[in-house]
Chains A and B, each alone.
Chain A
Amino acid sequence: MANQELKLLEDFEKNSRWFHKNIDELQKNNFVGKFVAIDNEKPIASNKDINIVIKTIEKDGKNPSLIFIEFVHPKGFTLLL
């Protein structure tokens, strides 16, 4: 894998790890039921509508394809795949 690609994936992984580590805090802080975008290990946008999150990211000049975005499920909710 090229160095640039590796860096992109590492940044994404770092933000994913932050999300999963801080899910309890996100649930306590009004992110439940919303998509939250994480960059540099902090939330940069959130909304119930992912399209609005994507537009916010693009306005900031970032590429949403490379930004970690995940839905914050409520505590106790179980997703069956």
Chain B
Amino acid sequence: MRLPLQVHLFAGGLRAMTRFLLISKEPHIFGSIEAIVDTGSPTTVLGSPDLKRMRVSQIQLQKLESRKEQIAYGGGLVKTKILNGAQLKFGDYFECTMPIQIPVDEIKDCNQPTILGVDFMIQNKFKLVFDPIKKEAYFESSE
């Protein structure tokens, strides 16, 4: 099974990117996300701008489980909450349910995008094929 990705020149470099619907029951989230595939990030993190678009309040986030360790994000160290049971729907290609980290500390002028990390690849047994010359990229089932 292949999940096609897009390759765009974004913020100074060619990036493998994807879009999906993010759905959560508690807190209620239903929105479209564009994420950068980042094999340098062990975890999937919802970007601050996307969190604001989803209109999720700090009060709603308080109910979520906290991650003990801070993460390096947007040029600083931030605390995160874990959105368990987030549903990611990639059109007709693929869908999965997995935990996503949400930064709860406000970072001034943070425009860090959503990152699809290695946890997504491990959970779904995907390998990444990325050809920056041909501007082609896709996830492929590694089983």
51-81 of chain A: CB within 8 A of chain B: 51, 54, 63-71, 73, 76-79, 81
Say which residue of B12, B36, B40, B89 sits within 8 Å of A73 (CB atoms): B12
Binds A, one of B52-60, B61-69, B77-85, B120-128: B52-60
Q: A16-B19, A35-B111, A66-B32 are known contacts. Are A50 and B11 too (CB-CB below 8 A)?
A: no
User: Which range holds the interface residue count of chain A?
Assistant: 20 to 34
A12 within 8 A of B: yes
Q: Are B38 and A68 in contact (CB under 8 A)?
A: no
Provide the bound-state CA to CA distance between A21 and B54, in Å: 25
B95 cross-chain contacts in A, Cβ below 8 A: 1
Q: Is the interface of A mostly helix, strand, loop or mixed?
A: helix
Q: Are A6 and B92 in contact (CB under 8 A)?
A: yes
Q: Are B52 and A9 in contact (CB under 8 A)?
A: no
Q: With contacts defined as CB atoms under 8 Å apart, how many contacts are there between chain A and chain B in the complex?
A: 83
Output the nearest chain A residue to B94 by Cβ-Cβ distance.
Answer: A1
Q: Are A13 and B19 in contact (CB under 8 A)?
A: yes
Output the nearest chain B residue to A21 by Cβ-Cβ distance.
Answer: B8
Interface size on B, residues (CB 8 A): 32
Chain B 26-70 interface mask (CB, 8 Å, partner A; 1/0): 000111101010101100000001001111000000000000000
Q: A1-B91, A23-B9, A76-B12 are known contacts. Are A9 and B20 too (CB-CB below 8 A)?
A: yes
A67 cross-chain contacts in B, Cβ below 8 A: 53
A8 cross-chain contacts in B, Cβ below 8 A: 21, 32
Leading 7 A-B pairs by shortest Cβ distance: A78-B12, A65-B31, A79-B11, A12-B32, A71-B111, A20-B8, A73-B11
> Can you list 28 A-B contacts (CB < 8 A)?
A1-B21, A1-B89, A8-B32, A9-B32, A9-B89, A13-B19, A16-B19, A20-B6, A50-B52, A50-B53, A51-B52, A54-B55, A63-B31, A65-B55, A67-B53, A70-B34, A70-B49, A71-B49, A71-B111, A76-B12, A78-B12, A78-B13, A79-B10, A79-B11, A79-B12, A79-B13, A81-B38, A81-B115
Residues in chain A within 8 A of chain B (CB atoms): 1, 5-6, 8-10, 12-13, 16-17, 20, 23, 35, 50-51, 54, 63-71, 73, 76-79, 81
